[in-house]
Chain A
Amino acid sequence: MNTDLSDLSLMQISDSFFPTGLYTMSNGLETLFSEKRITGMDELWELIQTNIVQQIGPSDCVALSNAYDSTSLNNVEKIIMCDRSLFAMKLVKELREATCRSGTQMIKCISSFVTNDALLSYHDAIKNSQTPGTHAVVSGVISNVLKIEKQKAILHFLYGFSVSMVGAALRLGIIEHLQSQKILHLLKPVIAETCDKYISKSLNDMWQFAPEYDVIQITHEQKFSKMFIT
């Protein structure tokens, strides 16, 4: 029997059946759609690409990568530093809350069937409100614990974000199902390049800059009628 179960673990956490609540998030897309600023596939692809290149790559992926390495060293203090830094970098309240909801539920799920010292200590720190439990940092920790390669963990995170956005667009009626798969295909080089670019960056190299996008997401908080949490 093949004893390397890491690929199966990757499939497990990448499956839409895995409970992280990402389907409740449009990451600002709902606002852009209602204001008719995103009306089709090309604009959607550009939006997701911008988000990956300007926000998720340089902030979430760097935090994930450092949390992954810190888990190998059982350095929970550093994991918490990654977590707090990423949380502070997210300027939109809805996004901060949503990423922590996904992160805390993800670690709770994994902790129900895997044991590991760093995982346990980090989970305890989240439960005791010592650290926020962001989705990216939790992903870094649990990927390490499940022996998923770091590169694959980052690819999984970026792909998961893309699917979440494309899924929201599909439900909003911006695109149809074949276009959604085409966008995911077109995003592959962007995802791969972003992964390569940020996989070895230190925590001090974290950044994010998409101010217009942040403002759009903040206006989502004020909307009365909405389908999505973000």
Chain B
Amino acid sequence: MNKRIPRIGIGGPVGCGKSMLIERIVPILAKMNYSISIISNDVISQEDADRMRQNLATNQGLLPENLVIGLATGGCPHTAIREDPSINLSVIEQIEKEHSDLDLIIIESGGDNITTTFSPALADYFIYIIDVSGGDKYPRKRGLGIETSDLLVINKIDLASLVDANLDIMERDAKIVRKNKPYVLVNCKTDEGVDVVARHIIEDVLFEQPPKKLITNVK
């Protein structure tokens, strides 16, 4: 039986910055010697997976190219991560079989609506990401992703003034709606707040376990 590698699910609407968040988090974790695989579900193309592979694997060498995997979801992004996650699970089982030394698997959902959630069978930790350009009403409109995710990320905070979004209101509503579960304001373009997201992953998903490759080296 393959040992389950911790898995994070990242979901959110189209264009909110899911892939960008991954592209910012992975270098932080890789620098700390964590080994990571990425599965990118996409509704129509493999563009995000190709871009992440090019950036993180080919250009930066932070992970092998074959560990960035693109999955087409047949136009049903929410089904692929919740009602019928079998295709994602099948890919993960293959990864766990062939790369048991990995510390973390990141599963990116295809862009979807505010009711997105991950099946517990698929992800151990759920990050839901929105951006300010949808307006400061977004958190209080609720939805399963905003309410129940383990971590809410509010991205593109640099655009707030341009779209008349009040970050104080977004913070206030996030606290109320999420009943004090954590949220982070980030700007993936400048890395502002991204280290806080990485810290949550290390503490809440990896439980501050050292990277497997370091443990192996000690032995």
User: In the complex, which residues 28-69 of chain A have their Cβ closer than 8 Å to any Cβ of chain B?
Assistant: none
Residues of B contacting A228 in the complex (Cβ-Cβ under 8 angstroms): 72, 74-75
Q: Report yes or no: B86 in contact with A20, Cβ–Cβ below 8 A.
A: yes
Whether A229 contacts B83 in the complex (CB less than 8 A), given A101-B90, A224-B46, comes out as no
Give the one of B46, B85, B86 with max A CB within 10 A.
B86
Q: B149 on the interface (CB 8 Å rule)?
A: no
B166 at the interface (CB under 8 A from A): no
> Are A26 and B74 in contact, CB atoms less than 8 angstroms apart?
yes
**Cβ of B90 and Cβ of A227 under 8 Å apart?**
no
Q: B99-133: which residues lie under 8 A (CB-CB) from chain A?
A: none
Question: Which residues of chain A have C-beta atoms less than 8 A from B72's C-beta?
Answer: 24, 226-229
A23, A105, A106, A226: which contacts B76 (Cβ < 8 A)? Answer: A23
Given the known interface contacts A23-B79, A226-B46, the answer about A105 and B74 at a Cβ–Cβ threshold of 8 Å is no
B80 interface contact, C-beta 8 A: yes
Verify if A17 is at the interface (C-beta below 8 Å from B): yes
In this assembly, does B43 line the interface, its C-beta being within 8 Å of a C-beta of chain A?
yes
A16 (CB) vs chain B CBs: closest residue: B84
Contacts of B47 in A (CB 8 A): 224-225
Chain A contacts of B71 at CB under 8 A?
Answer: 24, 229
Q: Are A24 and B73 in contact (CB under 8 A)?
A: yes
Q: Flag whether B89 is at the interface (Cβ < 8 A).
A: yes
How distant is the Cα of A106 from the Cα of B43 in the complex, in angstroms? 23
The answer on a CB contact under 8 Å between B86 and A101 is yes
Q: In the complex, which residues of chain A have a beta carbon less than 8 angstroms from the beta carbon of B54?
A: none
Q: Hey, which chain B residues are within 8 Å of A18, CB to CB?
A: 84
Cα A18 to Cα B79 with chains together (Å): 11
Question: A105, B83: Cβ atoms under 8 Å?
Answer: no
Residues 24-49 (chain B) with a chain A CB within 8 angstroms:
43-47
Q: Which residues of B contact A109 (CB under 8 A)?
A: 86
| B87 CB–A CB distance under 8 Å | yes
For the A-B complex, the count of residue pairs with Cβ-Cβ distances under 8 Å equals: 69
With beta carbons under 8 angstroms apart, the residue of B46, B85, B86, B93 that contacts A102 is B86
A100 to B93, CA, bound (A): 12
Are A224's CB and B84's CB within 8 A? no
Q: For the complex, give the distance between the alpha carbons of A17 and B93 in Å.
A: 21
Q: How would residues 98 to 114 of chain A score, 1 for a CB under 8 Å from any chain B CB and 0 otherwise?
A: 00111011100100000
Interface residues on B, range: 20 to 34
What is the bound-complex CA distance between A24 and B78, given in angstroms? 12
Among A97-152, those with CB < 8 Å from B are 100-102, 104-106, 109
B residues 163-192 in Cβ contact with A at 8 Å: none
- Chain B residues within 8 Å of A24, by CB: 71-74, 76, 80, 87
Tell me if A183 counts as interface (CB < 8 A to partner B).
no
Name A102's closest neighbour in chain B (CB-CB). B86
Contact in complex: B44, A225 (CB < 8 Å): yes
Across the interface, name the chain B residue whose C-beta is closest to A170.
B75
Q: Which of B76, B79, B87 has the most A CB atoms < 10 Å from its CB?
A: B87
- Interchain CB contact (< 8 A) of A23 among B43, B45, B84, B91: B84
Once bound together, how far apart are the Cα atoms of A171 and B79, in whole Å?
14
Residues from chain B with Cβ under 8 Å of A160 in the complex: none
Question: Counting CB contacts under 8 A, is A25 at the interface?
Answer: yes
Contact between B86 and A227, CB atoms less than 8 A apart: no
Whole-angstrom distance between the Cβ of A222 and the nearest chain B Cβ: 12
A155 at the interface (CB under 8 A from B): no
Chain B, residues 87-98, CB within 8 Å of chain A (1/0): the string is 101110100000
**Pick from B76, B85, B90: contact of A104, CB under 8 Å:** B90
Chain A residues with Cβ under 8 A from B83's Cβ? 17, 19
Contact A227 B84 (CB under 8 A): no
* Cα A83 to Cα B159 with chains together (Å): 55
Q: Which of B75, B89, B91, B93 contacts A227 (CB 8 A)?
A: B75
Q: Can you sample 9 A-B contacts with CB below 8 Å?
A: A17-B84, A19-B85, A19-B86, A21-B90, A23-B76, A23-B84, A24-B71, A24-B87, A227-B74
Instruction: Name 18 extra pairs, CB < 8 A, besides A17-B84, A23-B79.
Output: A19-B85, A19-B86, A21-B80, A21-B87, A23-B76, A26-B74, A100-B90, A101-B87, A102-B86, A104-B93, A109-B86, A168-B74, A225-B45, A226-B46, A227-B43, A227-B72, A227-B73, A227-B75
